């Protein structure tokens, strides 16, 4: 939900409030009681609707650092190639293993490494049919408390595998760059070498 949409919702709520002469009090729609702080938070938080992935992200069994990872994942804020193109950090938004655009949804559901994991868990068809990541957490017949933890472990493993591929590529580029620097220092401009010899 964009800020513009939220502002429009707030304006529609505020314009529907009319004050009467004398003692006017704001009442909630569900009860005839004055609003409490939680009612106002609900107003500003997705119009009072609960964000579906929140129930998996904020499980007590998941360590805090992985909760942050999940929040970034479900919000689409991880530094995938597509997001880095948007930020103008790189020019290619494609996956390095497939011909698809690299989003986390692609990494987790449709990439080759994801297929390997979902094959092992016998969820290949479910992953291919999933329209969003949260579809993997809502599988019938799976334990509602432990299954999301398994999915979190798989998503984290896929993200780390993707980053490991990039760190290997980065190390190779770094090695090539250091070789180029070494060569340019050895075979640098002749006037610099002549100064060093004097």
Higher pLDDT, 167 or 173: 167
Query: How far is the C-alpha of 71 from the C-alpha of 62, rounded, in Å?
Result: 12
Closest CA to 54 of 70, 38, 66: 70
Q: Which distant-in-sequence residues (6+ apart) come within 8 Å of 54 by Cβ?
A: none
Spatial distance between the Cα atoms of 159 and 109, rounded to a whole number of angstroms: 12
Neighbouring residues of 2: CB distance < 8 A, sequence distance ≥ 6? none
Q: Look at residue 177 in the predicted model and tell me its pLDDT.
A: 62
In the prediction, which pLDDT does 165 show? Answer: 82
How far apart, in whole angstroms, are the C-alpha atoms of residue 123 and residue 145? 18
Q: What is the pLDDT of residue 142?
A: 76
Model pLDDT for residues 132-167, shown as the tens digit of each residue: 887 887 776 777 778 888 888 889 999 998 888 877
DSSP three-state, residue 101: strand
pLDDT in tens, 72-105: 998 889 999 999 999 998 888 888 888 899 999 9
Has residue 108 got a pLDDT over 70? yes
For residue 81, give every residue at least 6 positions away whose Cβ sits within 8 Å of its Cβ, in sequence order, or none.
Answer: 90, 92, 93, 94, 95, 96, 101, 102
Alpha helices in 32-189 (DSSP H): 37-44, 54-57, 64-74, 81-86, 104-105, 112-120, 124-129, 134-137, 147-186
Whole-angstrom Cα distance, residue 162 to residue 175?
20
Can you tell me whether residue 3 is helix, strand or coil? helix
For 10-61, the pLDDT digits (tens) are 888 777 766 666 655 555 566 667 767 776 666 666 555 667 788 788 888 8
Count of other CB atoms within 10 angstroms of residue 96: 12
Distance, C-alpha 154 to centroid of its chain: 15
Residue 71: pLDDT above 80? yes
Half-sphere exposure of 198 (CA within 13 A, CB side): 5
- Lookup: tokens for 101: 């655009």
195: left (phi over 0), alpha (psi -120 to 50) or beta: alpha
Query: Which DSSP state fits 94?
Result: B
Residue 159: per-residue pLDDT:
92
The candidate with the shortest Cα–Cα distance to 155, out of 140, 171, 135, is 135
């Amino acid at each position: 939900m964009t800020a513009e949409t939220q502002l429009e919702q707030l304006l529609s709520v505020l314009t529907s409030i009319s004050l009467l002469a004398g003692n006017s009090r704001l009442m909630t729609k569900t009860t005839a009681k004055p609003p409490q702080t939680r009612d106002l938070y609900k107003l500003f938080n997705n119009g009072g609707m609960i964000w579906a992935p929140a129930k998996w992200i904020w499980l007590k069994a998941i360590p805090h650092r992985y909760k942050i990872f999940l929040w970034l994942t479900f919000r689409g804020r991880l530094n995938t190639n597509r997001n880095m193109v948007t930020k103008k950090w790189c020019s290619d938004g494609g996956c390095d293993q497939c011909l698809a655009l690299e989003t986390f949804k692609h990494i987790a559901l449709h990439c080759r490494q994801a297929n390997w994991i979902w094959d092992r868990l016998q969820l290949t068809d479910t992953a291919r049919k999933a329209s969003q990541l949260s579809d993997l957490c809502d599988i019938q017949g799976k334990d509602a408390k432990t299954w999301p933890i398994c999915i979190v472990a798989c998503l984290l493993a896929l993200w780390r595998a993707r980053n490991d591929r990039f760190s290997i590529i980065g190390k190779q580029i770094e090695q090539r760059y250091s070789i180029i620097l070494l060569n340019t220092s050895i075979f640098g401009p002749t006037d610099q070498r002549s100064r060093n010899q004097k």
